[in-house]
Each structure stands twice: as C-alpha cells, then as structure tokens.
Structure 1
Amino acid sequence: MWPQLEWSTRSELLNLAEQAGGIIAQFESVEVNSVTAQTWLNEKQAASIECENLNAHRINISALYDHIKDWDPLNEQALKKAHRQLMLNLSMRAGQYRGTSVAIYHHGRNIYASPPATGIARTLSELFTELNADHCHPLYRAALFFNVFESWQPFAEANGCITRFWLTLLMRSWHPLFQWLNIEQSWLASIDELAEARQAERNERSEAYILWLTGVLRTSLNELAQKLAICSEETVDEVQKSSDKFSDMCSVKGSEKWPTARKVLFLVNKERGISAQRIAELLGLSSRAVEKQFARLKQQGKLERVGSPRGGYWRVMVSPSQQLSLPEC
C-alpha cells in the first residue's frame, strides 16, 4: 500500500489513514448546509492566495474551487487545464510546463533550485501513471503528488496554488468530507517548516517533503473534525427541536384525533423549513404520503412554497381556527 517509502514515513501515513478513517466513520452522516460549505471553500481560497502572496484579483482561483466536483485528480490534462484557468490572461505559459529554471527564496535566502525543465514532461507522465495504479491509497497518492510537485515545481508560476488544490482533489477522491480540509490554512501556518523541508531535500535528506505534508494533513484533519462536530451538534439540536414541536402537538388535548392534514400544518407552522422526511418520521408515515399532503394543501391554498425546491420552505396560509375544521385527506 505504501511502496518505495521508508518505514517511518509509512508509519506516519498509516497513522493518518487511521485518523481520517475515524473522521469518516464518525461524521459520514453529518449534513453540511450550502452556506457553511461555501464559507469553508472561501476560507481555503483565501488562505491559498495568502500563501503565495498573490493579489486575489490577479488569479482566477474561484474557477478551481467553485467547480471542485468537476475536476479529475488522476488526469494530467486536467492539471494543465486547471493551471490554464488559474493563470488566464496572466501568463504566456498558462497551462504549460515551464521552459526555464525557477528558484524559491525564503527571507531573502535561496532555498530551492529546480531540476532542468527538460525532464518535467517525462516525470509528470510517470507521476500520473503511478497515481492511476490500483495499489495507490489516496494518502499515498497525495504524498507522491506533493513530493514530485515540490521537487520539480513544473510550472513557472502558481505551483503552490495548484498543489494545494490538487491535494484537496486527491483527498476528496477518498471521501467527499475531505473537500473541506483546510490544507491551505495549515500550509500557511507551516511556511517556515516547509522552507526547512526544502533545505533538507536540497541536502539529500529523503522524504522531508512527505513528512512535512503529514503534519499539515494531521492539523487539517483535527480542524475538520472540530468543524464537523459543531455541525453534528447543530443537526442534533434541529432534530430535538422537531421532536419538541411534536411533543407540543401531542400535549394539545384531542390532537390524537386530528386529521393528518392538520398535523402536517401544525408541524410546518411550528418549524419553518421542516422536511417531508422529518414529518414522516414524526407521524409514522412515508415521505411520499407527506409529499401528497403538501400537494393537496398547496392546491387548497393552505400551504405556499417559498423559495426554491431545495433551499425554500413551506408557509402555512390558514389561521389556527381554520385548521381546526380541516377535513381528513
């Protein structure tokens, strides 16, 4: 599973795999609403730009993150396309590997000198062949990709932005939860340590890049677990609120004899945005049966849909006194 790596590095990756697997097991069923998801992606974009000291108006980073589901992390042509979109109208070599050498400076000191550009095409082709191998665990793919990209810096500009985005894609290919790993922020917080890793690689200390990456991923996983825990608590709170509303209804004298339509109206009126599935659970019905109730009540002018089918909610259009006389349907 972890070929061509020293035992200490394999051990670090195995520990990370266990940590990531625990997050998947604990939070797989947690729902992240669209507003929160977009906020997290915006945070990733902002941190990635800050890592590069680039002006947000100069690079088209939203072209990558706003369409994160559309990119194939195992496709080399997709990588070039991502760079082309990122550097659109900013670089003559957007979407092309560099043709000259590059250097990286940290606090005014040269800490990296690139290998000759003539070897990039072959190296990247071999990289993507390995990434597509059946034996590749997602973490190994991420480690391998990072090691090659840091060693070769294949583009003339914005290698860091592309690397962070591609690491996100590779982790997302393991599980969708990991698209929100804020690798970018953890990277930003560890810039000095990355400079040390680059110096170590320059001095031929193997796997310094991968060991640095394991630290970044560990921090990112811890932070993601904390965020998902908060979302999980909010979900539990919402379920409890729904249950409380149902208890309110049950406490009303004679409610057990109410027609189904009135029960639906009561719950919708008590909790804006309650789903058909949740009402079905509370009333012991199928979701399809509740959807039929919604359709009838809307046709009768007693319910109104506000907003889109996914992001909207139902609004009750009749008074409580009118609800009392609702016939069974």
Structure 2
Amino acid sequence: MNNYTPPYKITSKILKLSTQISEELTKLQFTGVEKVNPMLRKKNRIKTLAGTLEIEGNFLGEEKITAILDGKRVLGTVKELAEVQGAIKAYEKLDSYRYFELDDLLLAHKILMDEILTTAGSFRSVNVKVGEHIAPQPNMVNELMINLFSWLKNSDEHMLLKSCIFHYEFEFIHPFSDGNGRIGRLWQSVILNSFNPIFSLLPTESIVRDYQEEYYKAIEDSTQIGESTPFIEFMLEMIFKSIQNIKDDNVPINVPKDDPIKRLDKIIEIISENKDITILELANKLNVADKTIKRDIAKLKEQNRIIRVGSLKSGHWEVKVYE
C-alpha cells in the first residue's frame, strides 16, 4: 500500500460546515425523505443531469432531458444528444459503482463518453492545459490515479471531506482527454452516496451550476496554493445548500410545511433580537432553505416591515416600527 496523502488543511469553516451537514442529514432521515416518491426522485435526477451538462456548455435543459427520459424525440445536435444519453446511463448506475475502485471509474467514463470519444474509458495520451493549469504528463496519469484511489480506499478521513478532496485531485490530474468535469462531479456523488444514500436524492450538481464561476475559482485557488482546502470549503457549502433546498422542495407529504405568515412574524422577531443575522443563519434557525428566506425577506421588504441598511455582506437589518 502506498502512503500518498493529498495536501489539505482542516479549517474552522470546514469543521463547521461538516457539522451542519451531518446535523441536517440526521434531520432529513427523521422526516423519511429517503422514501420520497418516485416522481420527486426523478425530478431531482433531471436537475442533476441538466446541472452537470450545463457546466460543460450543453444547454438542452431539464425539459428536453425529461422528454428524452420519456422516450420522446428531441431536437439537438448529435453531440448534445449523445452527451445527455451518456449522462443518463452513467448516473443510472450510481448505486452500483464502488467508490474505491479505479476500474469502476473507468467504466463510468466509458458509459458517459462512449458516443463522443474513441478513447472513452482510457486515460489520455496527450498533454492538456486547463486555463493556466498544465495537467501532469500523460505517462504520469496511471500512477497518479492508482495512488489517489489507494488513498481514497485506505484513508480514515471523513467521507464528506474525502469526496471533496478526491474531486479536486481528480480535476488536477485531468486523466481523460474529455469529460473530466462530469466524471469528477459524478464520482463525488458516488462517494457521498456510499456514505449516505440520501445523497442520491440531492441535485448538488445543479447547485454547483448556479455557482459555476465560484466553482472554477475554488479549483484555481486550490491549484495556486498547492492544496485542496479552498475547494473543500466551496464544495461543502454546495452540499449544505443542496440539503437546504431538498428540505424545501421535497418535504414528504406527511411533513407539514410551516405557516408562511407565522414564519414572516418569526423572522421579524429574530431580526429584532439580532440585526446582523445572515440569510443562512435565519434559514438554519427556521429549518427551511435559504431561497425560502430570500422570498420571505423580499415579501417583508414589499410590506415595508423591514429594510436593509448597507450591503448584504457588511450591513444590517432594521425593523420598521409604526407609532
């Protein structure tokens, strides 16, 4: 067994996010969200597929992907349609991949890229440059990947962190001539799913798509300092956001949603006690997604019940008091 360990640091932000994610997962399990109905499961898988493809410039979108899944004919270029079909097939096998087996990752790449690349399922034999990053020489790729999978299998690090570290290291090595981004995101989902099956419901890829610039910046920042720490922090935030969103979108029918009017009053009460509270902190306190809080805040501003003084980053809230 080799002793390769990817470089990273555990920051207080990483610890805090890991704890928050673990707490939210526990809450989700209590709601029975993993027994969510098949329609919602399908909807989230479509979001995942659209998200990961859009990051790579394929904008067929959720509507057309739904039509393809339903066996309907869809207009698109040969490449676009092949990319969608490949992604559908690759994600269909999410539960059967062994996260620690390099052969399974090669199989996933073959399934994903079979109609697009003649070298699908094989490491690249050419040099690649991604932005400013010159990826390792092709003759180094095989050994680097073996070392990375050995670490993935044998490390005692928490699976949440392992999934993020792997994702970054994989993108750094860039082992294939094409499809690296899609496989990196898929494999992080494979690792997370093996840690907790709830992750197969979370469309984390669609959240990453919404923060695409930050995603690439986190990769660049990590490459610049020579460790995956900024990328781990970023991806944990994305995972946390996707959990927050599923709580809002996919709450099982038997779990009643809060009364929105009561929630508005509660927000006023909380802001009265803490004018510096953030959207995320409000979402945590009220156990809803941050996008729900954003809608509530917009409503309260509309009703002229609160105002924001200064910027979102450094400002504060003020509750309007009427005599």
Normalised by the size of structure 2, how large is the TM-score? 0.64
CA RMSD of aligned residues (A): 2.3
Contact 1:143 1:210 in 2 (8 A): no
CA distance in 1, matches of 2:157, 2:150: 11
* Alpha-carbon distance, 1:44 to partner: 0.3
Contact 1:49 1:56 in 2 (8 A): no
1:1-329 correspondence runs (5 A)? 7=9, 9-28=10-29, 29-30=32-33, 31-54=35-58, 56-59=80-83, 60-104=86-130, 110-133=131-154, 135-202=156-223, 204-207=224-227, 209-232=228-251, 234-237=253-256
Residue 213 to residue 150, structure 1, CA distance change in 2 (3 Å): same
* Alpha-carbon distance, 1:197 to partner: 3.7
2:265 matched to which residue of 1?
Answer: none
Contact 2:222 2:229 in 1 (8 A): no
* Alpha-carbon distance, 1:213 to partner: 4.0
How many pairs align?
A: 228
Residue 153 to residue 22, structure 1, CA distance change in 2 (3 Å): same
1:292 matched to which residue of 2?
Answer: none
The higher radius of gyration belongs to 1
Structure 1, unaligned runs of 5 or more: 105-109, 239-329
Residue 233 to residue 184, structure 1, CA distance change in 2 (3 Å): closer
CA distance in 1, matches of 2:211, 2:169: 19
CA distance in 1, matches of 2:13, 2:162: 14
Question: Percent of pairs identical after alignment?
Answer: 20
1:316 matched to which residue of 2?
Answer: none
* Alpha-carbon distance, 1:67 to partner: 2.5
Residue 56 to residue 36, structure 1, CA distance change in 2 (3 Å): farther
* Alpha-carbon distance, 1:198 to partner: 4.3
* Alpha-carbon distance, 1:201 to partner: 4.6
CA distance in 2, matches of 1:65, 1:73: 13
1:305 matched to which residue of 2?
Answer: none
Residue 25 to residue 116, structure 1, CA distance change in 2 (3 Å): same
Residue 82 to residue 22, structure 1, CA distance change in 2 (3 Å): same
2:277 matched to which residue of 1?
Answer: none
2:297 matched to which residue of 1?
Answer: none
The answer to which structure, 1 or 2, has the higher relative contact order (CA under 8 A, 6+ apart) is: 2
Contact 1:44 1:185 in 2 (8 A): yes
Contact 1:180 1:224 in 2 (8 A): no
CA distance in 2, matches of 1:6, 1:46: 31
Residue 197 to residue 215, structure 1, CA distance change in 2 (3 Å): closer
* Alpha-carbon distance, 1:63 to partner: 0.7
The range that moved more, 66-75 or 222-231, is 222-231
* Alpha-carbon distance, 1:206 to partner: 2.8
Contact 1:193 1:212 in 2 (8 A): no
Residue 131 to residue 4, structure 1, CA distance change in 2 (3 Å): closer
* Alpha-carbon distance, 1:72 to partner: 1.3
CA distance in 1, matches of 2:217, 2:155: 33
SS of 1:62's equivalent in the other structure is helix
SS of 1:124's equivalent in the other structure is helix
